[in-house]
């Protein structure tokens, strides 16, 4: 029995060592580290760990032991521990089936405070209330605001469109009860990063014209997901191999959340899933023509979209839902949107999503403040206090957001 146990342990050790070696080789063969990145060795180590975790999660999912999202969040929980902030009161609540976390400054205020509704990133795979706890506590404390973080339901049990619907429902519930939390109804900001940034746009657009709830004062988006149609924009080509959000990881997250088989990735990439009449209608908002020339370094204009594939369209047509593509909303709605503070990252595959939405709102006269980090990395905001894993861009982003909100 002891020999059998020893053989089993040795086998597991060899398996994990092999997986580590494979992750290292994959990193060096498939990843680019731009020269502007500070702490390149740190990035390489972190990305190798990330590849190892995702590869192990894929194996466990195929063996039907544990789903990829659950295992990845388990690994995430080891790194992202919550710090207790003595200046912030934290309360866990449920709005129906939606878990939320309320962050309130401990100090007394003689007048109602500003309110922030925060939607976290992670595409339904990563993220969560615990992962973003320290970010939210920092924002609440530094802006002296009451912050509500929405813990929308996630994969593998919940798919599109649950993230948007949960965030919208939780936001409406909160907006109708601002007085209970001591929030000034004229000073409510919606804020989010990555997919949460895209949800900021979706929720804000959905609330336009609703007279029975307070109007949103401003929207804050950090490296947002704004569209899932044109995957040949300059930033998708330039940054497709940059950690921590590569082309492969992006498509895996999109397909899992949207319940699209990953075999349609090539059709999505080349645009063959786009009906010709749809591209004619939306090209004015989605084309690389709208990206400033200064961002097109080494960009080669592709033949896009490719020859139409109706089967691919039928498998992916929910990507064209206007509720899922905030950049496609009618001008009439866009013109009524509140002020926008937009953070974009130079090393982010989604950089051009932000630039397209920026132009979209500016064309309709919406005030837009833009903060661009040339060395910014997708998802890095959650690392702002995670030494030694943090990057300079992490704190810069949060500081810029705090400065904007305090200036409203």
Selecting among 133, 344, 378, 380, the annotated active-site residue is 378
CB 195 within 8 A of CB 250: no
Rounded Cα distance, 23 and 21, in Å: 5
For 159, phi then psi, to 5°, come to: -125, -175
In 3D, which of 244, 198, 254, 189 has the Cα closest to residue 221? Answer: 198
Rounded Cα distance, 191 and 121, in Å: 11
CB 30 within 8 A of CB 241: yes
Is 288 annotated as catalytic? no
Is 321 annotated as catalytic? no
Is 194 annotated as catalytic? yes
Which residue is associated with the tokens 């590569």?
A: 246
Token duo for residue 82: 């919550």
Selecting among 194, 288, 380, 394, the annotated active-site residue is 194
Selecting among 193, 348, 352, 353, the annotated active-site residue is 348
For 327, phi then psi, to 5°, come to: -70, -15
Q: Known catalytic residues?
A: 194, 348, 378
């Amino acid at each position: 029995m002891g020999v059998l146990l020893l053989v089993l342990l040795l086998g597991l050790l060899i398996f994990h060592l092999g997986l580590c070696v494979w992750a290292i080789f994959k990193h060096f063969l498939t990843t680019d580290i731009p020269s502007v990145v500070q702490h390149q060795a740190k990035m390489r180590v972190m990305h190798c760990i990330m590849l190892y975790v995702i590869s192990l999660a894929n194996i466990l999912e195929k063996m039907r032991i544990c789903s990829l999202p659950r295992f990845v969040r388990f690994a995430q929980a080891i790194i992202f521990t919550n710090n207790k902030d003595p200046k912030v009161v934290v309360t866990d609540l449920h709005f129906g089936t939606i878990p939320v976390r309320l962050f309130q400054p401990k100090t007394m205020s003689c007048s109602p405070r500003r309110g922030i509704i925060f939607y976290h990133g992670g595409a339904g795979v990563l993220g969560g209330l615990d992962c973003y706890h320290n970010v939210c506590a920092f924002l609440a404390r530094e802006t002296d605001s009451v912050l509500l973080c929405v813990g929308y339901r996630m994969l593998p049990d919940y798919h599109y469109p649950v993230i948007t619907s949960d965030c919208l429902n939780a936001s409406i519930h909160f907006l109708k009860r601002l007085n209970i939390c001591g929030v000034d109804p004229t000073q409510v900001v919606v804020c989010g990063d990555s997919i949460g940034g895209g949800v900021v746009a979706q929720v804000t657009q959905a609330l336009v014209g609703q007279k029975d709830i307070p109007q949103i004062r401003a929207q804050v988006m950090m490296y947002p997901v704004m569209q899932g149609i044109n995957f040949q924009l300059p930033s998708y080509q330039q940054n497709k191999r940059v950690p921590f959000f590569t082309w492969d990881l992006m498509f895996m997250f999109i397909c899992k959340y949207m319940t699209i088989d990953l075999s349609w990735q090539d059709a999505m990439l080349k645009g063959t899933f786009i009906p010709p009449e749809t591209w004619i209608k939306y090209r004015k908002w989605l084309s690389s023509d709208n990206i400033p020339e200064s961002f097109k370094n080494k960009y080669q204009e592709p033949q896009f979209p490719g020859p139409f594939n109706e089967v691919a369209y039928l498998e992916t047509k929910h990507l064209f839902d206007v509720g899922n593509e905030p950049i496609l909303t009618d001008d009439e709605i866009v013109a009524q949107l509140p002020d926008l503070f937009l953070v974009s990252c130079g090393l982010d595959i989604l950089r051009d999503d932000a630039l397209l939405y920026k132009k979209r709102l500016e064309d309709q006269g919406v005030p837009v403040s833009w903060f661009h980090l040339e060395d910014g990395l997708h998802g890095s905001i959650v690392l702002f206090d995670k030494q030694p894993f943090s990057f300079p861009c992490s704190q810069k982003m949060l500081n810029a957001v705090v400065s904007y909100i305090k200036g409203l």
